[in-house]
Amino acid sequence: MSTLYVVGTPIGNLEDLTMRALRIFGEVDFILCEDTRVTHKLLSHYEIKTPTISYHQHSGDLKIGRIIDLLRSGKNLALVTDAGTPGISDPGGKLVSMVRQEFAKLEKNHDGIESVKIESVPGPAAITTAVSIAGAGLDRFLFLGFLPNKKGRQTMLKEISASEYPVIVYESKHRIIKLLEELEKFNANKNPYKVTVCRELTKMFESVYEGSVAEILAELMKDQNNLKGEFVVIIKK
């Protein structure tokens, strides 16, 4: 039986790789990477020589077919994203679903193929990292990942405004200001949101900003360096 390991990797600090993940990387036949260049930096740091295969949001049926063929031939694979846990706002979830479907179909057709084992190797995720340092009030929350850039964005903003629970979203440096300005516009209750913005979590320039949307906007705009990196935004009513 082959195994597809879904492996969490550091979101910034390379020391956040678990001992189990390190062992798995050395044992599997191939590592499936969102961006091989990014993953090679991590593998080089730990002197891991396992060959890599790219798998990302633009990978087509031929690439997925190749991955399934490797599993059918008994190869063990590790799936990673550029940072964090695969399947959370990245294409890893799609691959896991397709592998499950394909092997379920093979078993049903009695093709003599053993089912593949899909095993989680837990690790960091930006969402849990942000929640852990944001304080109380996050026993329940709505996670929306990255908001669409255009189509569907307005609908999601209305959903944030209507949510009875705190909402957590990811945002890039290119749209963080736009997001905060939109939150003010779509605030249906007109009671100031309490917002926590986490930037560059676990990295050298990690920053956490907390306050009203207006206060956060003013703080970010003080210095263009504050707009660099990846952001996790927690929105409380």
Structure tokens at 221: 């705009």
Length of the chain: 237
Confidence of residue 103 (pLDDT cuts 50, 70, 90): confident
Mean of all residue pLDDT scores within the chain: 91
Structure tokens at 42: 């991590």
Domains of the chain (ranges plus CATH)? 3-124 (3.40.1010.10), 127-236 (3.30.950.10)
Strand order in the sheet with 207-211: 142-146, 167-172, 230-236, 194-199, 207-211
- The percentage of the chain sitting over the pLDDT mark of 70, rounded to a whole number, equals 95
Residue 173 has pLDDT above 90, yes or no: yes
**Mean local confidence (pLDDT), 140-155:** 92
The verdict on pTM exceeding 0.75 is yes
Confidence of residue 180 (pLDDT cuts 50, 70, 90): very high
Alpha helices in 12-91 (DSSP H): 19-27, 36-45, 61-72
Q: What is the pLDDT of residues 35-59, one digit of tens each?
A: 999 999 999 999 999 999 999 877 7
What does the alpha-carbon distance between residue 122 and residue 194 come to, in Å, rounded to a whole number? Answer: 30
Residue 207 has pLDDT above 90, yes or no: yes
Q: Provide φ and ψ at 77, rounded to 5°.
A: -125, 150
Residue 188 has pLDDT above 80, yes or no: no
Closest to 21 in 3D by CA, of 160, 89, 100, 123: 123
What does the alpha-carbon distance between residue 147 and residue 144 come to, in Å, rounded to a whole number? Answer: 7
What does the alpha-carbon distance between residue 146 and residue 97 come to, in Å, rounded to a whole number? Answer: 20
> Which runs of E-coded beta strand occur in the chain?
3-7, 30-33, 52-54, 77-79, 117-121, 142-146, 167-172, 194-199, 207-211, 230-236
Residue 16 has pLDDT above 90, yes or no: yes
